[in-house]
């Protein structure tokens, strides 16, 4: 069967991708500085080889021959994904891909320096070049896929998601979130909370993190926990490695960070083994991936039930005593809401507002309605309108994120789609299995993980995100469940 020729070829590509996953992990966790140049060579050569294999001209023939063969549903879905990957790999001319990659590397380097110096003017030319090339890229993709400019980018991160749907969801969010934010903050100020006093030893934090990972169902036969400057979930299938960073002044961030990355890892580890190495066996886009981390972090583990379970462990880990270490106070700390400047530090109430701002701005940048030079002003205006705060400088304003500087336009919405997916999936899970909530309250995540494996992880890319949500929760993504979750947790 030609179909087998095709899948063998893609299996080999996936072996290189897995090797790259380990090399990337190593670069962020283990590699000494002096290894950077050599690692760059290794990555470039392996990426070049993988690219050559992805664009192999025989694939076109294989794809059309396989289309005429007898395939089951999963194989047919895999063939669709193979077509999609081949199109994405070949639609951009090699020369353009190189120029784009160079411009992004260049801009990322400039950005690191400009951000440190709080100097947007020095970033603007490089960013302008990237935006110009992203627009070119979108034009090529758009012609090929028959999508709008923005949708052709969004589709690369979240296959099947369209900005028309995002618009509706985000408008609904914008309709109530700013008000809700104000109410919650007022309420929390009245209630008050007690800060935890450090220092908290890194070794205790690590031991605690490993314990919680085990409780959540992380399989240490197939993964690790390490340290990196920017936490991530990486490695390869069957060997999923998450990272965190520790601050001796504050253990709460690394703890929730570990839980967040464990959510990502459980998705990867739960993907169907028989589809390893094939496109249909991969996770279904960025918003589903984010939903799995946020379901663990926001839905399950910032709940009062889980914090009650974990309170004695926290006290034991850090010799905590007194009113700061009550479940009630820990819950207040873990659900604190603020009008912050920084997206990555934001709580679940204000986070979507940070995303909506970026979504609007990146669409305007792409269409040309907004010039790169006008970004700082537009950012300040947006922050004032949506969050009621204004950044004092561009460092903590429009220069805070790496995404645009590395050419990633169309990525931001997936964070908030993920948060809403998480709420809707969690609600459906709890509804369908009465063991799940008591499990979380007792430190037994098996019922929850079993439901996720059945309804999300094990389905990989068999269905579109929308169909996956409908099959798992009874309906496509809506704002309502997320809204109810926020109102119950923060105003209840």
Judged by the rule CB under 8 A, the positions of this chain that interact with a copy of itself are 11-12, 15-16, 18-19, 22-23, 26, 30-35, 37-39, 41-42, 44-46, 49, 219-224, 235-239, 276-277
Identify which of residues 84 and 224 has a Cβ nearer to a copy of itself in the complex. 224
Identify which of residues 38 and 198 has a Cβ nearer to a copy of itself in the complex. 38
Q: Catalytic annotation on 305?
A: no
Minimum CB–partner distance for residue 105 and a copy of itself (Å)? 18
Identify which of residues 218 and 412 has a Cβ nearer to a copy of itself in the complex. 218
Minimum CB–partner distance for residue 294 and a copy of itself (Å)? 26
Minimum CB–partner distance for residue 237 and a copy of itself (Å)? 6
Q: How far apart are CA 263 and CA 101, in angstroms?
A: 31
Question: Choosing from 17, 261, 290, 297, which is the catalytic residue?
Answer: 261
Minimum CB–partner distance for residue 456 and a copy of itself (Å)? 21
Minimum CB–partner distance for residue 7 and a copy of itself (Å)? 14
Q: Give me the active site residues, please.
A: 261
């Amino acid at each position: 069967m030609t179909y087998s020729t095709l899948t063998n070829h893609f299996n080999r590509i996936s072996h290189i991708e897995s090797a790259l996953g380990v090399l990337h992990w190593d670069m962020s966790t283990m590699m000494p500085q002096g290894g950077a140049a050599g690692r760059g060579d290794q990555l470039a050569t392996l990426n070049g080889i993988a690219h050559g294999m992805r664009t192999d001209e025989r694939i076109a023939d294989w794809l059309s021959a396989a289309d005429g063969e007898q395939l089951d549903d999963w194989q047919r879905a895999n063939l669709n994904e193979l077509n999609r990957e081949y199109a994405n790999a070949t639609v951009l001319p090699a020369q353009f891909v190189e120029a784009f990659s160079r411009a992004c590397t260049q801009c990322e380097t400039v950005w690191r320096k400009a951000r440190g110096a709080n100097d947007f003017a020095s970033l603007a030319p490089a960013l302008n070049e990237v935006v110009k090339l992203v627009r070119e890229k979108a034009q090529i993709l758009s012609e090929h896929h028959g999508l709008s400019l923005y949708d052709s980018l969004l589709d690369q991160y979240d296959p099947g998601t369209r900005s028309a749907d995002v618009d509706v969801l985000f408008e609904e969010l914008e309709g109530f979130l700013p008000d809700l934010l104000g109410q919650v903050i007022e309420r929390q100020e009245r209630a008050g909370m007690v800060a935890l006093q450090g220092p908290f030893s890194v070794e205790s934090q690590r031991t605690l993190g490993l314990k919680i990972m085990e409780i959540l169902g992380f399989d240490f036969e197939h993964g690790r926990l390490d340290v990196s400057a920017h936490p991530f979930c990486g490695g390869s299938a069957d060997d999923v490695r998450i990272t965190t960073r520790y601050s001796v002044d504050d253990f709460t961030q690394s703890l929730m960070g570990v839980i967040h990355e464990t959510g990502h890892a459980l998705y990867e580890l739960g993907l169907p083994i028989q589809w390893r190495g094939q496109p249909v066996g991969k996770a279904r886009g960025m918003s589903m991936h984010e939903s799995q981390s946020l379901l663990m972090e926001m839905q399950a583990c910032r709940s009062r039930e889980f914090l009650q379970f974990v309170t004695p462990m926290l006290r034991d880990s850090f010799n905590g005593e007194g009113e700061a270490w009550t479940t009630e106070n820990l819950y207040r700390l873990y659900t604190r809401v603020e009008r912050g400047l920084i997206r990555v530090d934001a709580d679940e109430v204000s986070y979507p507002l940070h995303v909506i701002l970026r979504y609007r701005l990146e669409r305007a940048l792409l269409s040309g309605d907004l010039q790169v030079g006008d970004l700082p002003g537009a950012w300040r205006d947006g922050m004032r309108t949506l969050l009621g705060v204004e950044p004092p400088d561009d460092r903590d304003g429009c220069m805070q994120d790496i995404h645009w500087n590395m050419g990633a336009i169309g990525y931001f919405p997936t964070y908030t789609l993920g948060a809403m997916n998480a709420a809707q999936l969690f609600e459906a899970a709890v509804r369908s299995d009465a063991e799940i909530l008591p499990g979380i309250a007792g430190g037994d995540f098996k019922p929850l993980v079993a439901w996720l494996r059945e309804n999300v992880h094990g389905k990989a890319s068999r269905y579109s995100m929308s169909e996956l949500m409908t099959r798992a929760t009874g309906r496509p993504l809506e704002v309502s469940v997320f809204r109810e979750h926020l109102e119950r947790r923060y105003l209840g």
